[in-house]
């Protein structure tokens, strides 16, 4: 089946720094989603992308739908302690009825 | 408040004792889904439902059953739980018949001894 490679697996950054993470797919997707999961809670949707090349922001978060439709990027600017958590990408191809999830990026923000 | 609720949040049980984890959403969503989350394996879909009485297998359906008799409810049934079903389970729902913009419940941590 489809696979998503998400990198990096973990990041340790200083408060105030910018963060970048990405996902690549072996197949084309027509929807990319980015989620954040806090410890002990369910994933929360951050950003949804529906068109190749689309760039969408949500506060300090910006995500892009790659023009090849096989990748997506998430950037967090000026990180703060509450950004700590696991970030997941997910893709959907339209012909499938399932989301495919990346393995997650564990983000730690150091004071 | 729009939400997906799951019960129980925590459950410890023994091998072979049938159990049901309930899931309910109040957003009139068509699509509902169950996932399990395990360290190093990420989120894997167990079953999904595109509408009432329409269910289909996800990536890891073995040992699980589901039903969708009402739009708002999508229970997950483990007829004979085994230790390898110890996991964190999430229910999710989305508007429309596909998994667009899924909203997740708070999770159920299941331990099977």
* pLDDT bucket at A99, cuts 50 / 70 / 90: confident
CB proximity A45 to B under 8 Å = yes
A99 and B104 in contact by Cβ < 8 A?
A: no
SS percent in chain B: helix, strand, coil, step 5: 5, 50, 45
A98 and B99 in contact by Cβ < 8 A?
A: yes
Tokens of B88: 């964190």
Nearest CA in chain A to B36: A42
pLDDT, tens only, A40-67: 899 999 999 999 999 999 999 999 999 9
In angstroms, rounded to a whole number, what is the distance separating the alpha carbons of residues A39 and A49? 25
Mutation site, B89, B101, B105, interface A, largest A CB count within 10 A: B101
Helix (H) or strand (E) holding B66: strand B65-66
DSSP state, B84?
Answer: G
In angstroms, rounded to a whole number, what is the distance separating the alpha carbons of residues B20 and B77? 4
The distance from CA A111 to its chain's CA centroid, rounded to whole angstroms, is 23
Least CB-CB distance to A31: which of B59, B100, B107?
A: B100
A98 and B105 in contact by Cβ < 8 A?
A: no
**ω into residue B67 within 30 of 0, thus cis?**
no
Residue B2 confidence (pLDDT): 80
Tokens of A48: 């949804």
Least CB-CB distance to B98: which of A45, A97, A101?
A: A97
Q: Which residue, A45, A109, A58, A37, is CA-closest to A80?
A: A109
pLDDT tens, residue order, chain B (113 aa): 889 999 999 999 999 999 999 999 999 999 999 999 998 788 899 999 999 999 999 989 999 999 999 999 999 999 999 999 999 999 999 987 776 788 999 999 999 99
B90 and A48 in contact by Cβ < 8 A?
A: no
Which of A12-21, A26-35, B13-22, B65-74 is the least confident region?
Answer: A26-35
Nearest CA in chain B to A4: B42
CB proximity B42 to A under 8 Å = yes
In angstroms, rounded to a whole number, what is the distance separating the alpha carbons of residues B18 and A76? 44
B42 and A41 in contact by Cβ < 8 A?
A: no
Cβ-Cβ pairs closer than 8 A, A with B, add up to: 53
């Amino acid at each position: 089946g489809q696979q998503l490679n998400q990198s990096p697996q973990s990041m340790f950054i200083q408060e105030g720094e910018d963060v970048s993470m990405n996902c690549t797919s072996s197949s084309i997707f027509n929807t990319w989603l980015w989620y954040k999961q806090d410890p002990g809670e369910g994933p929360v949707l951050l950003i949804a992308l529906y068109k190749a090349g689309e760039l969408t922001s949500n506060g300090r978060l910006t995500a892009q739908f790659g023009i090849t439709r096989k990748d997506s990027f998430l950037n967090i600017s000026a990180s703060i302690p509450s950004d700590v958590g696991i970030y997941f990408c997910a893709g959907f191809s339209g012909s499938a009825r399932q989301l495919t999830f990346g393995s997650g990026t564990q983000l730690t923000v150091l004071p | 408040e729009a939400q997906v609720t799951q019960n129980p949040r925590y459950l410890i049980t023994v091998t072979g004792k049938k159990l049901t984890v309930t899931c309910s959403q109040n957003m009139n969503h068509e699509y509902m889904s169950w996932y399990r989350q395990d360290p190093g394996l990420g989120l894997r879909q167990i079953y999904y439902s595109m509408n009432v009485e329409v269910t289909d297998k996800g990536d890891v359906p073995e040992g699980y059953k589901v039903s969708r008799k009402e739009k708002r409810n999508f229970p997950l049934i483990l007829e004979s739980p085994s230790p390898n079903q110890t996991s964190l389970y999430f229910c999710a729902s989305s508007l429309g018949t596909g998994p667009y913009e899924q909203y997740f419940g708070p999770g159920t941590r299941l331990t099977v001894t």
